[in-house]
Amino acid sequence: MKELEELNLPDDIRYTGDHEWAKITDDTVRIGVSDYAQDQMGDIVFVEMPAIGDRFAKGDQFGTLESVKAVSEIYMPMSGTVIAVNTTLTDAPELINQDPYEAWIIEITPADPSEYDQLLPAAAYLDLLKG
pLDDT score for 86: 98
What is the pTM (predicted TM-score) of this model? 0.96
pLDDT score for 94: 97
pLDDT score for 120: 98
pLDDT (mean) for 93-97: 98
The residue among 130, 129, 121, 127 whose CA lies nearest residue 21 is 121
pLDDT (mean) for 96-107: 98
pLDDT (mean) for 75-95: 98
Query: How confident is residue 20, by pLDDT bands cut at 50, 70 and 90?
Result: very high
Contact 122, 11 (CB under 8 A): yes
92 burial type by CB count under 10 A (0-12 exposed, 13-18 middle, 19+ buried): middle
Helix (H, G, I), strand (E, B) or coil at 122: helix
Q: What is the pLDDT of residues 61-74, one digit of tens each?
A: 999 999 998 999 99
Type and span of the H or E element at 95: helix 95-98
Q: Domains in the chain and their CATH numbers?
A: 14-110 (2.40.50.100)
pLDDT (mean) for 63-92: 97
